[in-house]
Amino acid sequence: MIGARPSRWWILAIPFAIALMLAAAGYRVGTFWFHNGQHRVLASADAGQWARASEDYTDVFGDTTRSYAVRLAGWGHKSSTFVNGRGEEFALPDGIVARTVNLEFEAEPDQALTSCTISLIDAQGRRFDNGGSTSQVANESSACVPEETPGPSVAVLDTDVRGATPDDTQPRPTRWATSPQVVVPRDAEIVEVRVSFEHPDYVRLMPER
Amino acid sequence: MNRAASTAATAAFVIAAMGLGRLITDHVPLEASAVEPFTVTAGLGQTAALEYAEVTVTGIRVTPTITGNPTAKAGGRWLVVDTELVATREPTLMLGFDLVAADGTRYAHSSRGTDCAINATLATGVPWFGSFCFDVPEAALDDPHFLVSRGDYAVDGSGQRRDGLADIDLAIGPADVGTLWSRTEPVDLSPTGVVPPAPAEQAAP
Amino acid sequence: MPSRIAIMGDRPSVRAVLSRARTFAAARPAKQKAGAAAAGVLLASAPFGGLAAAPEPPPQQLLLGQPMTVGPFEVAIDKVVELPDLAPAITPAPTQRVVVVDAVVTLTGDRPEYAVTLTNNLRVTGGGVKTTERPSLYVVDDATAMSVFNPGVSYRLAIAFVTDGPWQGETATVRANQVVFREEDRGTLNPNAWVGLDEIQWQGSLPLERRS
């Protein structure tokens, strides 16, 4: 139409367009950040309460789920040495201790629960791990399962059988307890305990304050 | 305005915009700003505090031979850099350990010697000790710097892009080069890990 | 008006077709005519080798003691030796042998390089036995395996190939590919890399010493 004023509705669309542009430009955030750290809480519980988790993961045969429940039963002692799975002892420097965490688990015997990581988060936001590391004071590979009856591991070869109890061991009981150590500064105030198997998922257990 | 003037104005605007774009591209150092790491400098025996770790070089040793099983002979000389690292925020894997000479030439560390460190897996708050072994020509001993970071150097520093990097001056001046190069005493390394090295093995130049 | 519809049984004569083609060609602009003429000349040269690719330069002669450049490395071969083993570095099966190219290797570039840049591009043939494609490198002084080189440092290395059986004959042919520096690579996102080409730059028939 001759003389009509052009529409100005496009100005309103600008903020949406910018937001869409930023979201599209962040297409690598998922791969490089979210899936590379602990960023998604599967389940959460206060001290003494059970947290029930159902975690989707992929093994050599395809997608599957891991279901388990875990409870923070309490704290054990603080030691000036860390003892690894082979019984080797490492003296810790002054101001650093190995803190024992008492955990209780419930799960069916066919759930793959070996190779977990126990993390302690302190008031400063620092994270201290046992598991998922080759450091001599953080290389526990069975923090979440009993030593004699660890149960199945994640199937990685196509000759593996998903959910099968390993040869030479009894099936894992449906309820058990573990007491892994985590190396932390003696005076660290622990505000959160995490149990995780694969990034980005973890279970959050809140200690008593 | 009439059609011709409007076309001319549009054309002038487009040309001016292209010219401005060209000016920006020519004068803003995009390459440098895109990849530079954040560097923290320190001297021998001092601690460089990065956001994610603390880096200290506790000593350096120069020798033609690193003892062990097997003994390793340098093609030039071994420059052994004894380090102490602590992750300050979370468990951290560190992969970048390079020697850079005064002329900018970069040297890679070697795993040929027994107990030569390759990388560092750090548990939060727990000091880690390791010795990095560089097999270098004499020219490398003139004012070398030890660069430490999480990321590997990769291609042209791309693994260290926009991350914290510690730059440690190893305090070797031109006058020291000849003395160090002529040393013959073999050097023994402590195993890498959380066990501190025995004091007798630490020797300053 | 010429009819464009071909009616069954009413085919245009050969002469008519040729005449139409000639008119078409004559009506083309001068540039197209020149291009067509050039193409014609090129085709006509085919029987005389006009369409063959340019021949590759022959490989340079490799001799003992003579330095050759393989990418960023300078390699001077001292001798080629056959051994039953290279203990403690290599202990093959009793039927196998180890052929060692004893050489002084220097990295002349200005940055560290991995040993594979060299070992991917060296080959030994001519003994009538199956030979490993890629050799292992060991420092002669201490038998440690060499995996990364620093600029400006020289080593006496045992470039070791494991063979399926004893070498036949008195000579071994040593070949080195041409290795070039490629700054940008569209395919594999691997810039500033030394790339071995499928062309042999150095080749020599060297005497083989047997040590048993």
- Read off the tokens for B3: 């059609």
The answer to whether the CB of B106 falls within 8 A of the CB of B153 is yes
For A139, name the nearest residue in chain B, comparing CA atoms only.
B123
- Is the CB of B106 less than 8 angstroms away from the CB of C112? yes
Within 58-117 of B, beta carbons closer than 8 Å to A belong to 88-91
Q: Which CATH architecture has domain B37-201?
A: Sandwich (2.60)
Contact: B71, C150; criterion CB under 8 Å: no
Query: Where do the domains of chain C lie?
Result: 14-48, 60-210
What is the C-alpha separation between A101 and A74, in angstroms, rounded?
6
Name residues whose C-beta falls within 8 Å of residue B124's C-beta, 6 or more positions apart in sequence.
A126, A127, A128, A129, A183, A184, B87, B88, B89, B90, B91, B92
B143-155 pLDDT tens trace: 999 999 999 988 7
| Residue C51 reports pLDDT greater than 80 | no
Residue for token digits 């955030």? Answer: A29
Contact of chains C and A by CB distance (3 or more pairs under 8 angstroms): no
Q: Are B114 and B69 in contact (CB under 8 A)?
A: yes
Residue B66 to chain C, least CA–CA distance (Å): 11
Could you report how far apart the first and last alpha carbons of chain A are, in Å? 72
How do the pLDDT tens digits run along chain A, 209 residues long? 566 788 888 999 999 999 999 999 998 888 888 888 899 999 999 999 999 999 999 999 999 999 999 999 999 999 999 998 888 999 999 999 999 999 999 999 999 999 999 999 999 999 999 998 889 999 988 899 999 999 999 999 989 999 999 999 999 999 999 999 999 999 999 999 999 999 999 999 999 87
The pLDDT assigned to C43 comes to 82
CATH number, domain A41-205, options 2.60.120, 3.90.640, 1.10.1660, 2.60.40? 2.60.40
**Average per-residue pLDDT for chain C:** 87
Q: Pull the structure tokens for residue B73.
A: 């002979």
Token pair in block for residue A165: 């109890």
pLDDT in the model for residue C13: 79
Q: Give yes or no for a contact between B132 and B83, defined as CB atoms under 8 angstroms apart.
A: yes
Query: What pLDDT sits at residue B32?
Result: 60
Domain boundaries, chain B: 1-35, 37-201
Residue B90 to residue A126, Cβ atoms within 8 A: yes
Domain C60-210 coded CATH 2.60.40: yes
- Across the strands, what pairs with A65? A56
A122, A127, A130, A134 alpha-carbon torsion, rounded to 10°? -150
The predicted complex's ipTM stands at 0.86
Q: Do B126 and A92 touch (CB under 8 A)?
A: yes
